[in-house]
Chains A and B, each alone.
Chain A
Amino acid sequence: MDIKSFKNSFLPHGKKLYCMALKIVGDSSEAEDLVQETFAKLWSQCDRLGEVSNPEAFLVTALKHACIDFVRQHRESSLALEEAGRIVSREASVTERLQYAEDLSSITQLMKTLPEQQQTVIRLRAFGDYTIEEIEQATGLSNINVRTLLSRARKRLRQLYRMDFNKQ
């Protein structure tokens, strides 16, 4: 695969990758670096890329791997409202966009209050759609540990959300 066909196949998915990376890592420049790293990695495997039937799925998998190292090293990231607003679709109504950006930003703030391992697990699962097996590989935790951490994190967030919800 030459650089031209590589660009044609993969570059159109850059935005989606960026949005996904931003939700996982919570920082726009880090997200962009991770997308670049993903492209660099795929280009390094360009000999094999002729056989890729679904470039988007291929990229998402590669990005997941790139994000794992980052999440391991930086566990306390959150998404600022401004950045959350940028990644919400322009097709939605203004009210919807604003509401969703607020929800996204506040959920990442709440996540920061969780213990480290719970944060890692829920971030990978919620924002990166990692399977339990992928999280096992990423964190070195056992299947049961991953599920327990995920359960605790979700229940804790529900508790915080309900408190918040009842106030409104």
Chain B
Amino acid sequence: MKKNNIDIEQLLRAFYEGSTTVAEEQAIERYFESHGEDVMPHLLADKKLFQALHRETMLQDACPEGLEDRLGSFVDSLDEHEKGETPVRWILWARIALVAASVLLAAGALAVFVFNNDMAIEEEVNKPTIANVHDTIKNESQASVSLAQTAETETNVSNELVPVTNAQTHRMVARKRSSGKPSNQREMTEEEAYEALQNTFSRMSTQVNQTSQEVKALEQNLTAAGNVINQHLNSNN
């Protein structure tokens, strides 16, 4: 008994120092379980804390209603959806579409800028009012700012999607594995598939970031161009 007390106090000291192993913590658990109400009074608070943290024996058979049925159906569904389209592919294409859309928007903004710039020069020849030119520049600037914001939002969405695809990757690989490949051909492991997917996403995020920066640069050019036109008009007047 005395030996046990010495042991338990040493073990508890080590426990609070963070230096006990999982096996030693199991020994502490057994000690408290077997001693019931007999533990030394100064160890009662330790016992209560330890058992709240570590007691396993009380956690056994009670679970929410229907848990087993739901898990069973879920496992069945893993088998059933083997040959279906994988959600991860959909997300991949959605993201490619997002990046493509942002590139197109940036290109469109550039075209609008060039077109409007030509118009502005034409209008300048036709002696436009300063207010008209101001409005054109202001609109273009606002359009490019919103494009930059869109690109940033897309980047954030891309980053958020990475962890979401974790489970989907598992399922994708599961389906791939069970589709029956020749055994001598090495299959991509799940980790490799996930890594490859993350690399792809990372590259795509970089592209979106670049687009975002390009749009910002475009915005700066627009402002600079606006200033030049403004000065030109002012000097003409």
Contact = CB atoms under 8 A, between A and B. Distances in A.
Interface of A: 3, 6-7, 10-11, 14-16, 18-20, 23, 28, 32, 35-37, 39-41, 43-47, 69, 73, 86-92, 96-97, 100, 103-104, 106-107, 122, 126-127, 129, 131, 146-151, 154-155, 157-158, 161-162, 165
Contacts of B45: 158, 161-162, 165
A112 B17 CA distance: 21
Contacts of A92: 58
Given A35-B71, A97-B58, A151-B18, A43 B174 contact: yes
Contacts of A14: 67-68, 71
A106 B59 contact: no
Contacts of B57: 89
Given A103-B51, A154-B15, A165-B44, A87 B67 contact: no
A103 B21 CA distance: 23
Nearest to B190: A44
**B46, B57, B64: most-surrounded residue (chain A CB, <10 A):** B64
Interface string B196-222: 000000000000000000000000000
B213 to A, nearest CB: 29
B63 A18 contact: yes
A147 B17 CA distance: 7
A7 B52 contact: no
A135 to B, nearest CB: 10
A157 B49 contact: yes
A87 B63 CA distance: 6
Contacts of B17: 147, 151
22 contacts: A3-B75, A3-B76, A6-B75, A11-B75, A15-B61, A18-B64, A39-B74, A40-B171, A41-B167, A41-B190, A44-B170, A45-B190, A69-B166, A86-B63, A87-B59, A88-B59, A100-B52, A106-B52, A107-B49, A147-B19, A148-B18, A151-B18
Contacts, number: 141
A106 B64 CA distance: 21
Contact of B16 (A18, A43, A91, A155): A155
A146 B74 CA distance: 36
Given A37-B170, A44-B190, A97-B58, A107 B52 contact: yes
A69 B49 CA distance: 27
Contacts of B190: 41, 44-45
B35 interface: no
A97 B59 CA distance: 10
Contact of A88 (B58, B68, B163): B58
A17 to B, nearest CB: 9
Contacts of A104: 52
Contacts of B177: 44-47
A37 B48 contact: no
A100 B58 contact: yes
B70 A3 contact: no
Given A46-B174, A107-B52, A28 B64 contact: yes
B53 A90 contact: no
A3 B62 contact: no
B138 interface: no
A71 B185 CA distance: 37
B134 interface: no
A158 B16 contact: yes
Contact of A89 (B44, B52, B62, B167): B62
B167 A40 contact: yes
